[in-house]
Amino acid sequence: MEVLKIATAGSVDDGKSTLIGRLLYDTNSLTDDKIDAIRNNSEKKGYDYLDFSLATDGLIAEREQGITIDVAHIYFSTAKKSYIIADTPGHLEYTRNMVTGASTSQAAIILIDARKGVIEQTYRHFFINNLLRIKDVIVAVNKMDLVGYDQSVFEDIKRNFQALNNSSSYAEQSVTYVPVSALNGDNVVERSTHMPWYEGSSLLEHLEGLQSVDVQEKAEFRFSVQTVIRPKKDEYHDFRGFAGKIKGGDLTVGDEVTVLPSFTTSKVESIYFYDQSFESATSGTSVTLTLEDEINVARGDMLVKTNELPMVQKEVTATVCWMDKKQLVPGTRYIVQHNTNQVLSKISEIGEVFATDFSGHTKSSGTLGLNEIGEVKIKLSKPIFVDSYESNKSNGAFILIDERTNTTAGVGFVK
Amino acid sequence: METFLDNVAATAQKISSPLQVNALENEAIYIFREVVAQFERPVLLFSGGKDSITLVRLAQKAFWPAKIPFPLMHIDTGHNFPETLEFRDQLVQELGVELIIRKVQDSIDEGKVVEETGKYASRNSLQTTTLLDAIEEFRFDACIGGARRDEEKARAKERIFSVRDDFGQWDEKNQRPELFDMLNGKIEHGQNVRVFPISNWTELDVWSYIQQEGIEIPSIYFAHQRDTFIRDGLIWSAQDDVVFRADNEKVQERTVRFRTIGDMSCTAAVESQADSIDKVVAEIRDSRISERGARIDDKRSEAAMEKRKQQGYF
């Protein structure tokens, strides 16, 4: 079944958890024992409604403080699709979680409180969705019940948001506006009877209608080798299979491929998935390839089609989102992990740090702090084989690993 | 060119239709391959339950035609269903992989843990000590498990590569971000990573996969006759040597099956007539009760799982 991953973002108290709870409840995805637990907890807290946020906030601290700290993954399905929601917290200090959630998502829901309208957080959420090139964005204007289901409130917010959208440089992005009340279920799964002036579809109807071609970008064939399979069995004595996941494009037996960084060429002899061999395979499949010639291929190498070479770079310029408490400064060393390829690197220059409010303002402090997004030049000890993030998402991003702490300290998007 | 390829073709089935994309399966295979490439001593934690059986099939797919390149390890509580153990031994024999067994009973005999007593006594949380000792004994740096994010609220926050410190502890508020599908397996000596290849699968995804792949599972997942008794609205196995039962808790034979398998002392049965995989899938699809609704270990408190995870549990 088709799987659609959605990132949700909103500020504290926008009712994001309630919206997700409502989606689960109205799609019949909450089982009776979970509903009972929610009812008990809601009563214990003295609420006179079902607090659906209790369905999603998983950690003790989250329930105690009534906030979401970490990305949570929530699953539900309809007859048409399986949905995975990456629920990301909206606090200022948690930009890194938002980027993380968005990195695996094909669509995003941005939540706005109808009483507050477009606020600084909204800018940031939309900025991140643009940076990560999320193709389908749904702006859910929530708490319409608290503004009397007033059309003019919705239209005002829509106008303000459209002004943001006009200043975004991502033309292929589609933005849809839906007025909702998560608490009462208006326009979440069922269309609202309170807002006859709204003629669009409900939130779920919109998601159901998304085709995978709507949310995925076309890209060229990239195959980063994970491991070499050499069975120590008599019947497969000389078998050397290159295991990896196809990212972008497709591959057919007989295609001429170039192995990077050696630039040796060969032809695809066979494409295996488990114990079956296929004539062709497409993006997203974890296959094992054999080549016609015996050439040297190791983990981290990349197979591409000979007539579709990526950039081979020893210095890379990227937009970096910084996720570590220790700020990024020029001259320091990090490990760049690009797909399965890890190379040592040195930060050569930190350029402009972007304001995430679409003002176009930048500052240059020469460093990049936690949750800041800026332009960084990185020198690499060995070349990486990249595309711009714009032309191939999965081959245009890398992570930066701190050698001293081993933590994932940042993510870069190749220009 | 008359080469080895002719041999391969003889065993590999040739398919002319294009390869279908099953996103979850492909993601899991990708994760398995990252584990083998990034770690020196991985191990697959095998409980004999449906999730770890599914993991084994995915590992077979990830490395074919090579054998699964790591051992399986079972932490035996001594309270396992005999059907599960039988199944485990048969599977291991068929695969030709190494099976390591470490017993909670040994940890008890060595005085490292103390057996719980009373009505709800279970060895479920004692497993943690045995597991951590085994990780140290074999110097495993990656332990692959079948936990899924949809199972439980604390698990919904879990990473695919989840770093544990020297004490096996999970620091849930300080987890590494996981971006795109790039997995960072860098750890310090003494640390280990718990790996969850089927993080994004739901219970129904697992069952549908077992159905579609024709994977064999232990017989107790299907409807059978069993001596049982009722406590707290749950159906317990009447297995007096393992499960405490009060005199007034009357034994009755019922037609039941297990939806999730842990120990006899912490897994409740459900009444069911589903005696085939098709019927089980249909039953799960229509179920109004969550999977862990039958896990007695989760009923201890709202945050039971989170607390156990912090201590090094799966």
User: Tens of pLDDT along A384-405?
Assistant: 999 999 999 989 999 999 999 9
Q: CA of A325: which chain B residue's CA is closest?
A: B174
Check if B285 contacts A (Cβ < 8 Å). Answer: no
Per-residue pLDDT of chain B (314 residues; tens, 9 = 90+): 334 444 444 467 888 777 888 999 999 999 999 999 999 999 999 999 999 999 999 999 999 999 999 999 999 999 899 999 999 999 999 999 999 999 999 999 999 989 888 877 888 788 899 999 999 999 999 999 999 988 877 788 889 999 988 777 888 777 889 999 999 999 998 899 999 999 999 999 999 999 999 999 999 999 999 999 999 888 999 987 888 898 899 999 999 999 988 888 888 899 999 999 999 999 998 888 887 766 666 655 556 666 666 666 66
Q: Which residues in B lie closer than 8 A to residue A63 (C-beta atoms)?
A: 302
Distances (CA, A) of A33 to A39, A84, A277, B244, B299: 10, 21, 45, 25, 11
Q: Report residue B278 as tokens.
A: 């098709």
Predicted confidence at residue B9, as pLDDT, reads 42
Check if B230 contacts A (Cβ < 8 Å). Answer: no
Interface of A with B in 249-308 (CB under 8 A): 269-288, 290, 292, 299
Q: Are residues B133 and B57 in the same domain?
A: yes
Interface of A with B in 75-134 (CB under 8 A): 75, 77, 82, 84, 96-97, 99-100, 103-104
In a domain, B13, yes or no: no
Please state the ipTM of this predicted complex: 0.94
Check if A339 contacts B (Cβ < 8 Å). Answer: yes
Q: Which residues in B lie closer than 8 A to residue A227 (C-beta atoms)?
A: 33, 36-37
SS (H, E, C) chain A: CCEEEEEEECCCCCCHHHHHHHHHHHCCCCCHHHHHHHHHHHHHCCCCCCCHHHHCCCCHHHHHHCCCCCCEEEEEECCCCEEEEEECCCCHHHHHHHHHHHHCCCEEEEEEECCCCCCHHHHHHHHHHHHCCCCEEEEEEECHHHHCCCHHHHHHHHHHHHHHHHHCCCCCCEEEEEECECCCCECCCECCCCCCCCCCCCHHHHHHHCCHHHHCCCCCCEEEEEEEECCCCHHHCCCCEEEEEEECCEEECCCEEEEECCCEEEEEEEEEECCEEECEEECCCEEEEEECCCCCCCCCCEEEECCCCCEEEEEEEEEEEECCCCCECCCCEEEEEECCEEEEEEEEEEEEEECCCCCCCEECCCCECCCCEEEEEEEEEEEEEECCCCCCHHHCEEEEECCCCCCEEEEEEEC
A15 or A63: whose pLDDT is higher? Answer: A15
In a domain, B224, yes or no: yes
Q: Which H or E run contains B95?
A: helix B82-95
Q: How far is B37 from chain A (nearest CA, A)?
A: 6
State the burial class of residue A142 (Cβ atoms within 10 Å of its Cβ: 0-12, 13-18, 19+).
buried
Residue B223, helix vs strand vs coil: coil
Asked: is A311-414 a CATH 2.40.30.10 domain? The reply is yes
Q: How far is A154 from chain B (nearest CA, A)?
A: 33
In a domain, B153, yes or no: yes
**Does residue A203 carry a pLDDT above 90?**
yes
Q: Where in chain A is the domain with CATH 2.40.30.10?
A: 222-305, 311-414
Q: How far is residue B146's CA from residue B74's CA, in Å, rounded to a whole number?
A: 13
Check if B200 contacts A (Cβ < 8 Å). Answer: yes
Q: What is the domain class of A3-215 according to CATH?
A: alpha beta
Q: Are residues B119 and B194 in the same domain?
A: yes
- Count of pairs with CB atoms under 8 A, one residue in A, one in B: 205
Check if B172 contacts A (Cβ < 8 Å). Answer: yes
- Are B150 and A75 an interchain contact pair (Cβ–Cβ within 8 Å)? yes
Check if A72 contacts B (Cβ < 8 Å). Answer: yes
In CATH, what number is assigned to the domain containing residue B61?
3.40.50.620
Q: Which H or E run contains B229?
A: strand B224-231
In a domain, B210, yes or no: no
The torsion defined by the Cα of A347, A352, A353 and A355, in degrees rounded to 10, comes to: -160
- Are A84 and B9 an interchain contact pair (Cβ–Cβ within 8 Å)? no
Question: Which domain range does residue B175 map to?
Answer: 19-205+305-310
Closest CA to A109 of A50, A172, A31, A187: A187
Q: Which residues in A lie closer than 8 A to residue B34 (C-beta atoms)?
A: 226, 340
Superfamily of domain A222-305: Translation factors (2.40.30.10)
Check if B19 contacts A (Cβ < 8 Å). Answer: yes
For testing the chain A interface, which of B1, B3, B6, B8 should be mutated: the one with the most A CBs within 10 Å?
A: B8
Q: How far is residue A159's CA from residue A156's CA, in Å, rounded to a whole number?
A: 5
In a domain, B180, yes or no: yes
Q: In DSSP terms, which residues pair with A225 in a beta bridge?
A: A244
Q: Are residues B48 and B152 in the same domain?
A: yes
Q: How far is residue B131's CA from residue B18's CA, in Å, rounded to a whole number?
A: 43
